[in-house]
Amino acid sequence: MPEPRAFDVEIAIEKLNDTNHQVLIKAGSRNNRSEIRTLINSIWNQVELPKDWNESISVPIYKKGRL
């Protein structure tokens, strides 16, 4: 299966919901989007996800007001 094309990555980015990190990706420059595509293609060619992606750190962001 061929690597995702730049157009495919652009479409996927535009379909992201508006959470904080997704807004930053959408607002990023062409260079940032190109780097994201490079990362996706690198992972695509490895056939498996990097081991570091098995772990995550969640940081709660508290806002004023009621929960």
By the 10 Å C-beta count (0-12 exposed, 13-18 middle, 19+ buried), 20 is classed as exposed
**Helix H segments across the chain?**
6-14, 20-27, 30-46
Residues 10, 33 contacting (CB under 8 angstroms): yes
Any domain includes 21: yes
25 in any annotated domain: yes
The structural domain count of the chain equals: 1
pLDDT tens-digit series, residues 14-61: 787 777 777 777 777 778 888 888 888 888 887 676 777 777 777 887
pLDDT for the residue 67:
58
Q: Is residue 67 in some structural domain?
A: no
- Does residue 64 sit within a domain? no
pLDDT for 16 equals 77
Q: Which domain holds residue 12?
A: 6-47
Domain membership of residue 28 (yes or no) is yes
Q: What pLDDT score does 21 carry? A: 72
User: In this model, does residue 12 exceed pLDDT 70?
Assistant: yes
Give the pLDDT score at 43: 80
Identify whether 56 is part of a domain.
Answer: no
Q: What is the pTM of this model?
A: 0.53
Structure tokens at 35: 């780097």
